[in-house]
Amino acid sequence: MTLFNQLPFDFDHRPSLDGNDYLVTVSNKEAVLWLDKWPSWYSCCCIIYGPSGCGKSHLGNVFMSMSNAVSAKLDHHSLEEFDNFLDINRNIVVDDIDGKLKTLADEENFLHIYNNLSLTGGNILLLASKAPVQWELKLADLRSRIQASPAIEIRMPDDELIYAVLIKLFSDRQIRIDLRVLEYIVKRIDRSFSSAQRFVERADHIALTQKKKISLSIARQVLNDMGF
């Protein structure tokens, strides 16, 4: 058997980002409710924060889908370029905002963007790792605007959500998995979306390579490889 025959094709898998597919439990319910309130936010800005792997980026994608928002990186742009950008895109999402406001100049530029959107009826969804009170903003005007915006924490997924996420990730790949195997995984895997994603990708790859269903044996192998 050749190496080509032993390896599965490396297809690019794209799970659904439709808001109707987003899984809601206690850990993320408040953030989802705030997105549902759009476009009736009391501020032009909404902040969702939580640790890596908690699902912030997925919610950002859901918001982009529902509001025609675009992702803004905030780097390598003059204010004039951003004004032109905002003339076309009235709603934006900024990921890792607490990592992007590193200098006073960064804060001044972002305040300009914030004010532009506020005056023209646009909206901005900010995704952060830390709560706004921990951002240590230097610019008083920006600090007051951020403090006046709703800030919602997403906690790490609970068992119920990890269970549902794994089912969805396997379903996105059209994989049927025995519930006993699923329960075995949930009891041992790290409570994060990123871990669930890596597990499903790895398990699917091994199952395709071995031309087998995802069994307890494959689950044990993947969990061991991931350090669980």
Structural domains of the chain, ranges and CATH numbers in brackets = 24-153 (3.40.50.300), 157-225 (1.10.8.60)
Residue 79 above 90 pLDDT? Answer: no
∠ CA 88-90-96, rounded to 5°: 110
Q: What pLDDT, on a 0 to 100 scale, did the predictor assign at position 52?
A: 81
Mean pLDDT of 37-52: 93
pLDDT tens figures, 144-162: 999 999 999 998 878 888 8
Contact (Cβ atoms closer than 8 angstroms) between residue 70 and residue 148: no
User: Closest Cα to residue 56, out of 64, 44, 65, 48?
Assistant: 48
Strands 45-49 and 70-71: unpaired
